[in-house]
Structure formats: structure tokens, C-alpha cells
């Protein structure tokens, strides 16, 4: 399945591919969570919801593997680096009570994935303590056990968790296709540069394509 991508076409093999949806959690996309705690306008990220929803529907329809990640920490905060706890130096810190429960803590309402993109039964959810989805998680083992070598990457934020994960994946030998309009940042210029960094130098970390190119390819195989 050829997808029109940059810097050149991406040859998607659905049986060897996973759609990875990174950190589409209330804590990043709704007021009162971690994103706002850091001083960000969470409205910047919400434009990604509809494109991801459409791609997710097409991917599920085609029978592809879907995986989700969530950034967050143990309720006892034993896995939280001290510098990360006070990041932003605001009034509230990770682990403090907020309107959606304790900020960035597993099991709290704010930590969970937004209802629009909620995981379906059987779709693996990876809980990660860091920015990269491979650090201190079983993502690599799950992908290998399922014979996955290609990752179609979506989610937030482009220059933080998406870029970190793509770099980790690239060094582990995965071919990453980043879906441009399905990623977002609190800073539009960082989003733009985050995508450019992936596809520069002949695709130094991977490929970039718009969701319409991926959805079109999926429709061609399912019709």
C-alpha cells in the first residue's frame, strides 16, 4: 500500500503496522490538567481530535492494530523524577489535586484518554512515565511479539512525546510514518519544526504524510 509521503513514498504493510495514538489524555487536552499546569493553552491541541478520529475509524475498519499511550505516574509517585515534579514552578505540581483528580497520576480521570478516542476492547494501552513510549514500558516487546515493524504515529505533542517516541522507535529499527494533521503542539511553530526534523536529511527519523493520504490508501484496500 503506497502512501504519498515526505521525503518519499511510504510502503505500508498493514499486517506489519500499528497505529500508535500518543497521550490523547484529558490531562493534555482539557482545562485543569498537566498541560494547563505548565502554562499552556490546551485549545491548541483539540484540532487533532477530529483527524485522529477519522483515521482511527478507517484503521479499525481495515483491521489494523491500534495502540494507545498515556503519560503518567504511580499513585505513590515513586517513578517521578524530582525535577519533573516541580516542572513549571507553578502553584500545582504533578500528583497534586486538580479538577480532574491528581495531576498526571494513573487511575485519575485526567490521566485517561479523551472519550472521543477511547480505546476499544483489545487495543493495548501503554502507560509510560516519560516522554518516549519505549522508555520503561513493554511497547517494544508487544510490537515484536506481534511482528510489527512499521508505526503510524499520531498524538500530542509533536515536539515532545511524538518526537521522542519516533526517535526511540527509529533507533530500534521501526519505520515511522508521522501523520501531520493528527499531531499537535501548544506551539504551532514547534509543531512545524517537529515535523520538519523527522523528514529532513532524506527522512532521518521517518516519514510525514497528511491523514487523507493514509485514509485513501486504507480505503483502497478495504473497498
Residues noted as catalytic: 23, 128, 161
- Pick left, alpha or beta for residue 142 (phi over 0 → left; psi -120 to 50 → alpha; otherwise beta): alpha
Backbone angles phi, psi at 45, to 5 degrees: -90, -15
Chain centroid, CA 193 distance in Å: 17
> Residues near 12 by Cβ (< 8 Å), separated by ≥ 6?
1, 2, 3, 150, 152, 177, 214, 217
Q: Indicate the residue among 12 and 37 with the shorter CB distance to ligand TIU.
A: 37
Candidate segments 10-18, 73-81, 109-117, 153-161, binder of ligand TIU by CB under 6 A: 153-161
The residues in 9-68 that bind ligand TIU, with binding defined as CB under 6 A, are: 23, 28, 38
Minimum distance, C-beta of residue 141 to ligand TIU, in the bound complex (Å): 21
Total number of residues that touch ligand TIU (CB under 6 A): 10
Q: Indicate the residue among 3 and 24 with the shorter CB distance to ligand TIU.
A: 24
According to CB under 6 A, which one of 21, 152, 161, 178 is a site residue for ligand TIU?
Answer: 161
- 3-class state of residue 151 by DSSP: strand
Interaction mask 69-98, ligand TIU, x per CB under 6 A: --x---------------------------
Please say whether the beta carbons of 174 and 40 come within 8 A.
no
Q: Which of the 8 DSSP states describes residue 114?
A: P
Alpha carbons 139 and 7: distance in angstroms, whole number: 27
Q: Indicate the residue among 14 and 42 with the shorter CB distance to ligand TIU.
A: 42
Inter-axis angle of helices 49-62 and 211-222, nearest 10: 20
Minimum distance, C-beta of residue 20 to ligand TIU, in the bound complex (Å): 12
156 binds ligand TIU (CB under 6 A): yes
Grid coordinates of 97: 489535586
Q: Indicate the residue among 87 and 144 with the shorter CB distance to ligand TIU.
A: 87
CA distance readout (Å), 167 to 16, 113, 124, 143, 222: 19, 23, 21, 16, 31
State the residues that interact with ligand TIU by CB under 6 A. Answer: 23, 28, 38, 71, 131, 156-157, 160-161, 186
Amino acid at each position: 500500500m503506497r502512501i504519498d509521503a515526505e521525503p518519499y513514498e511510504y510502503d505500508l504493510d498493514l499486517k506489519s503496522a500499528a497505529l500508535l495514538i500518543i497521550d490523547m489524555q484529558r490531562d493534555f487536552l482539557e482545562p485543569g490538567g498537566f498541560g494547563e499546569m505548565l502554562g499552556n493553552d490546551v485549545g491548541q491541541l483539540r484540532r487533532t481530535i477530529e483527524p485522529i478520529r477519522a483515521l482511527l475509524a478507517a484503521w479499525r475498519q481495515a483491521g489494523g492494530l491500534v495502540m494507545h499511550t498515556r503519560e503518567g505516574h504511580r499513585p505513590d509517585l515513586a517513578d517521578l523524577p524530582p525535577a519533573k515534579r516541580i516542572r513549571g514552578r507553578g502553584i500545582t505540581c504533578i500528583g497534586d489535586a486538580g479538577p480532574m483528580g491528581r495531576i498526571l497520576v494513573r487511575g485519575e480521570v485526567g490521566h485517561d484518554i479523551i472519550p472521543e478516542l477511547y480505546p476499544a476492547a483489545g487495543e493495548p494501552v501503554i502507560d509510560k512515565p516519560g516522554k518516549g513510549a519505549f522508555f520503561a514500558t513493554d511497547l517494544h516487546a508487544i510490537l515484536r511479539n506481534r511482528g510489527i515493524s512499521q508505526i503510524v504515529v499520531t498524538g500530542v505533542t509533536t515536539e515532545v512525546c511524538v518526537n521522542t517516541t519516533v526517535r526511540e522507535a527509529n533507533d530500534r529499527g521501526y519505520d515511522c510514518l508521522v501523520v501531520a494533521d493528527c499531531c499537535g503542539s501548544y506551539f504551532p511553530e514547534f509543531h512545524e519544526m517537529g515535523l520538519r526534523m523527522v523528514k529532513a536529511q532524506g527522512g532521518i527519523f521517518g516519514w510525514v504524510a497528511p491523514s487523507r493520504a493514509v485514509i485513501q490508501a486504507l480505503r483502497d484496500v478495504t473497498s
